[in-house]
Chains A and B, each alone.
Chain A
Amino acid sequence: MLTDEQIFDILDGCADAEVLQQHTYLLANSGVYQQYFKELESIHLDLAQMPLEHTSVSFTENVLAATPVAKPKVISVKKKDWSRKLPYIFFGTMVAILVVSVIIAIFYQPTSATVQQEPNILIKELSDLFSKYFTQLGILLNLIVMLALFDKKILRPYFKQRRISLG
């Protein structure tokens, strides 16, 4: 008599030649085997013939209706990108101002020899403009950037947290 595993291998079409030979012999000579094989074979055939079940007609539409459409992730990522760049903009501006200041300082470096020169009106005007407005503007810009950072990093989180705890 063959084992169940061997019989199922025959039904699945993956039994070796020796098992198949034994099966043919038993099928012709053993009534018990014949009956048992037929039983397993009918189960196998029934399972193989079981149809694929079908969903309701509105299945796809129902799934699509339940699927979220909006993608808020994209918006928040954009905002994050801009705010991430802010320190770089700040430091970039600071470095640019420093470089310009150093260049100007080198340009106006006093020499050891005192030479009386007629003051250049254009340079004098530029120097006045620089000392008056450019420095003031620079300080003002720095202040604005610092305030913006202070507001974003300290004030807003503080009030947001406070609002949550009050709520």
Chain B
Amino acid sequence: MNDEQKDIILLKRIQSGDRLAYKELINRHKDYAFTVAFRILNSREDAEEIAQDAFLQVYKNIHTFNFEAKFTTWFYRIVFNAALMQKRKSRIFTEDIEASPQASMVSNLSDSSEDVRKNERQQAIRQAMQQLSADDVLLITLFYLQEQSLEEIAAVIKISAETAKVKIHRARKRLAEEMRKHWKEEVKSLL
């Protein structure tokens, strides 16, 4: 039985009022929902709130789900729309404490130099991602999570697979430019 079939069974059980199935569905998808929201919002607190709201919306609208689309396509669209609204609402720059350079410096103290470099790069990518549009962040995140096909990813933001592919290419190029800028500033600050 593949993941899609498992989701269908769980959704049918939830529709008949089975709360254990709902719990199982949450546990299956919570980390993915949280990752998508976190990459868009760059705040753990907000991302957790958005992921929770998304699951509540799923429960509330479970009877409207018609099983024509994949559950994850429907679900990621809910997460994405909620994250987008949250991002528009809180335009003030809020930096996640764990994601801040100071925090990473503290956590880096116990890591090896290879881990430190890796963490720094990932930190830089997260920051560079904030310069991209929410669509692009979602496309890149879902593409690299490798849970969905390009067609399914495209369906989340209602574009064609071809357009999604082009957008992913452009987003990665933009990310590379942002990273270049970031490293230049790092070098300047060291000098």
Contact = CB atoms under 8 A, between A and B. Distances in A.
24 contacts: A4-B169, A39-B176, A40-B172, A40-B176, A42-B121, A43-B172, A47-B125, A47-B140, A47-B144, A52-B32, A53-B35, A53-B38, A53-B39, A53-B47, A55-B31, A55-B51, A59-B26, A59-B30, A59-B51, A59-B52, A60-B27, A60-B30, A62-B52, A64-B19
A69 B23 CA distance: 13
Contacts of B181: none
Interface of A: 4-5, 8, 39-40, 42-44, 46-50, 52-56, 59-60, 62-64, 66-67, 69, 71
Interface of B: 17, 19, 22-23, 26-27, 30-32, 34-35, 38-39, 47-48, 51-52, 55-56, 59, 118, 121-122, 125, 140, 144-145, 166, 168-169, 172-173, 175-176, 179-180
Nearest to A67: B59
A67 B17 contact: no
Nearest to A4: B173
A55 B26 CA distance: 11
Contact of B169 (A8, A55, A60, A69): A8
B103 to A, nearest CB: 15
